[in-house]
Copies of this chain bind each other. A is one copy, B any other.
Amino acid sequence: MNNLSYFFVLCLLATLSHAIELDFCVGDPRFRGEKTPNNVFGNNVTLAFSDVFPAFNGLGISMARLDFAVGGVIPVHSHRTSEVLILVKGSIIAGFIDTNNTAYYKRLEVGDVMVFPQAMLHFQINVGKTPATAFVSLNGANPALQLTPTALFAGNLPADIAQKITLVSQKEVMQMKRIFGTA
């Protein structure tokens, strides 16, 4: 997740006179302002998961803001929760692939919504002529996001294993690892 920017929150701890099991805090994750995509994918992902935003603890829900440069992409990824996306700026193609290897994808305009079933591979691509912004919500406080390309090529998985389990050629695996600085 080294390509994702985190944010920090001030959590106003409530003084609950009889509090035993409940702890609430009023969140303010500052999705405010411009978010400039500055990584290899041309995206900027601002997470509001329970690890960075404690207000979500125990509530079974979380959120993220997705900003796309022109041509930017959220590469194929998955997580254990379902996801719903609302596009608020620009125009993107969003899609997912089901267990029969069938891809469902669609061009979205501002105001459009798309749902991604839990644990299915999915992706978003900015196909408009301007930057794009979307908000997504996930039905879990800590969705366990896994980006497929970085999981396979940007970490400590040896190149020979990566090649064997993906069928990608040795040359291409090394090219991928060079992209992510792990060659």
Chain A residues in contact with chain B, CB under 8 A?
1-2, 14, 16-22, 24, 26-33, 40, 48, 50-51, 55-56, 59-63, 65, 73-76, 78-84, 86, 88, 93, 95, 97-106, 109-115, 117-121, 123, 125, 135, 137-140, 142, 144-146, 148-152, 154-158, 161, 164-169, 172, 175-176, 179
Contacts and interface: CB of A to CB of B under 8 A. Distances in A.
Contacts of A1: 18, 99-101
Nearest to A40: B167
Contacts of A30: 111-112
B80 A113 contact: no
A65 B86 CA distance: 10
B121 A151 contact: yes
Nearest to A16: B100
Given A151-B101, A167-B176, A146 B121 contact: yes
A158 B137 CA distance: 27
Contacts of A109: 32
B120 A73 contact: no
17 contacts: A21-B50, A26-B114, A28-B106, A28-B114, A59-B139, A60-B82, A63-B86, A74-B165, A75-B165, A86-B135, A101-B156, A103-B156, A103-B157, A123-B165, A148-B148, A167-B176, A172-B172
